[in-house]
Chains A and B, each alone.
Chain A
Amino acid sequence: MTESPEAASRPSTFARAWAKAVSGTSYLPMTQAQLEALLHRLTGQLAGALLAEPFDLRAGHRVGAELVAAHIASAEGLGRTVEVIQLRLVRDLGLVAEDVEDRMARLLAAVATGYARALRDRTLDEQESIRRAAMMARTQALRALRASEARFRHQATHDPLTGLPNRTLFTERLTAALNEPGRGAQRIGVCFLDLDRFKVVNDTLGHQVGDRLLTMVAERLCQDLGEHLVARLGGDEFVILVERTGGTDDMVKVAETALAAVRTPALVDGHELQVSASIGIVERQVAGANPSDLMRAADATLHWAKSAGGARWALYDAERSRRELARYALSAAIPAALERGEFYLDYQPLTSLRDGRLLGVEALVRWRHPELGVLRPDSFIGLAEETGLIVQLGGWVLAEACREAEAWSAGGVQAPFVSVNLAVRQVHRAGLVQDVLALLRQTGLPPERLQLEITESTMMSTAEEPVRALRVLADLGVRIAIDDFGTGYSNLAYLRDLPVTELKVAGEFVAGLRSPAVGRTDERILASLVSLAHALDLTVTAEGVETAGQAERLRAIGCDAAQGWHFGKPAPADRILARIR
């Protein structure tokens, strides 16, 4: 095989045609001139391979691989390359050889093989690299996700102000401690802590100071009790979880430490603040305990500490809790009991010490409870007052008393008045006057046969409305008595303003008349009360008179009337009335 004389200039013609053929088959990161230069070089190699003796397949492989390396790397790129070599290489370069067709076929096969091998390798490499990139991206995304979840979880389980664990985390930890006895803990305890009068700090010094105080308390609790979980449940409520206790003594120690930590004066924004806290302690066996019961118990115990004056801890007492629960259940049953007619009235005589006449009777409510039997007022009135049910119950008592008392006048005898206790809430309720007027109208009871007993504490508030209401009632002729006089906050000023008819002197002064030593003092007090009352034109009834001796001395003092076992126990109306008929 030989080259024709003009062959030297012909490779560039071929290279240009080749470049044109592969343009656009894939992205070529070079200029047209660079492409032509590259293909010109490869043209030389092809021509060399076609003429070489012996024929070397590897030259064809190399050209194929170089094309792929130069990014002429697509199916179309190969197709057009084969086509242009087959059609033009021999002609353009003027190559002459006997076996040129043979050699061309073998050369094309070698180029295509080298090309396909290189393209396959390149494809596999690229696939591998993009997969690796996807994997790396995924790992990174997961790592970022985990980091953000950890951050999110921290935010969700911690209090932003103090950085302490919040209610969520505390509940989780408490639940875990109770559900995993495998941890080895036999007993568990919580201290439920609440600052005393924290609201005053917020209200007087502002929330910023309040917040800083909370932060400071949080820091101290952590510092002194760091081995336990200290959480902030919200507001000024903190809780300390002691996961392993040896008994209540351990918890008391924790509580004392916490109280001391809170008690240390804190300097906040130039204010020296001294605050105290109340703590409810619950300590019990892990076995059988559940988180909500435990926290309910802690909350109730905290209230005991608060109601005992604060700045102290209280220890959970199951018996006390049961009593309170029973009381609560009892109060909840009052409305239904009213509907079913389980309440009724007994009456206790108010007797004149001058002539022994029955002046009046005090209405005393009884509850015929279907399970507990007859209940006296001291077992449910306090509750009714706390819950507000006293308005409903008191209303019923007043109405029932008026209704029954009206009937007593039949028979010509001068009928006794009926004395009914009014609770604070009843007196302060708008509409008291209208209610009483309506009752008197409906029952036909003359106003002067109704006496309303109010306690001193009723008049503690400075509201004018109750005073006005009582004055309207007094003007109508209704009697107004001050109950338990002398035991409360005896502000005598109200005696000047109130339309009071009578003072009922508390039984404890009368009780003193039994023993000569104390009795002398009590007798003097009673005597002064009587003379004070008389000076103000009021009558005096002594309560709790149990003996003839007491009655005698009260009479000697000048007391007007008396009430107590000596004169008659509470009983149904007809039995009391039987005495005067």
Chain B
Amino acid sequence: MQRPDWAPDTIDIERPSVARMYDYYLGGSHNFAADRAAAQAMVAAVPEAPLMAQANRAFLRRAVHHLAEAGIRQFLDIGSGIPTVGNVHEIAQRIDPASRVVYVDVDPVAVAHSREILSGNDRAVVVQEDLRHPEAILSHPDVRKLLDLSQPVAVMIVAVLHFVSDDDRPAELLATLRDALAPGSYLVLSQASDDGRSADERAEAERVYRRTDSPLWIRGRAELTALFDGFELLDPGVVWVPQWRPDTPDSAEDAERAVFMGGVGRLGD
């Protein structure tokens, strides 16, 4: 019997997961030996890898904080990974406990873990879906139940778009999401960039991620800026993530070492 394509995969923790590698970079212990081995190989290739992850996480924190202060009460975090510390719902619900957050991830272990963390929180939920299927995300019953798409939503696509190849047409994926959003909604986007990096370093990083189910697809500033099509970029535009509205001026020093670039765009009225 040939297994049909709707039969699910089984869980293989011998295969590194990008979500758990990211947790390792952040200093977490929500990871297995295979994840650590791959993450260590990545650190050998790109020594700043842990710094990158931390800088990106800090960018997420500042962006959510900013949007919550700006009145956003609905968040759709796609590619949320392993919920470690400083999760979107923690930041947003500290500002307003009524804030509603939907996490989306394709990794079943990350989803199971999120589900456990979120149990008892009826304003935050996790959905197992793929960024590459925006229609499925938008029409998911849990998304429909928790988010009111007629009101502004902040869509977070943070440190995940580099796992989406150009063959999957990221601009179209983003346009599908954008077209479902109400005016006043936001897009928070960041991903790995190779601006100013050597070809060797890039090749080695790509090699590490070929061990996972999610090979890397690096993009430059111009490509990232283009992905904000339809949104008005907030200042300072698409920048190295430490440069995006830093807490203190000196925390943006050596910003290009963070490898990640990102920005926040607003959907006009």
Contacts and interface: CB of A to CB of B under 8 A. Distances in A.
Given A71-B27, A133-B113, A145-B10, A31 B85 contact: no
- Place the interface of chain B in its size category: 35 or more
Nearest to B86: A29
Contacts of A27: 26-27, 53-54, 57-58, 84-86
Interface of A: 23-33, 71, 73-74, 122-123, 126-127, 129-130, 132-134, 136-138, 140-142, 144-145, 148-149, 152, 156
Main secondary structure of the interface of B (DSSP, over half): loop
Interface in B98-126: 108-113, 115-116
A148 B4 CA distance: 9
A149 B247 contact: no
Contacts of B32: 130, 134
A136 B110 CA distance: 10
A56 to B, nearest CB: 30
B166 interface: no
Nearest to A20: B250
B174 to A, nearest CB: 27
A152 B27 contact: no
Given A26-B26, A130-B30, A141-B8, A152 B248 contact: no
Contacts of A141: 8-11, 108
Contacts of A126: 28-30
Contact of A133 (B7, B28, B90, B112): B112
B4 A129 contact: no
B26 A129 contact: no
Contacts of A74: 27
A132 B32 CA distance: 12
A130 B26 contact: no
24 contacts: A24-B51, A27-B27, A27-B53, A27-B58, A27-B84, A27-B85, A32-B251, A33-B247, A71-B27, A122-B29, A126-B29, A126-B30, A127-B30, A129-B116, A130-B32, A133-B30, A134-B32, A137-B111, A138-B10, A141-B10, A145-B8, A148-B8, A149-B7, A156-B1
B5 to A, nearest CB: 10
Interface of B: 1, 3-4, 6-11, 13, 20, 26-32, 51, 53-54, 57-58, 61, 82, 84-86, 90, 108-113, 115-116, 247-248, 251
Contacts of A29: 57, 61, 85-86, 90
A152 B29 contact: no
Contacts of B28: 126
Contacts of A156: 1
Contacts of B90: 29
Contacts of A132: 112, 116
Q: Which of B7, B27, B111, B116 has the most chain A CB within a 10 Å cutoff?
A: B27
Contacts of A145: 7-8, 10
Contacts of A26: 26-27, 54
A126 B189 CA distance: 28
Contacts of B3: 152
B85 A32 contact: no
Contacts of B248: 32-33
A542 B26 CA distance: 111
A140 B27 contact: no
B7 A137 contact: no
A123 B30 CA distance: 8
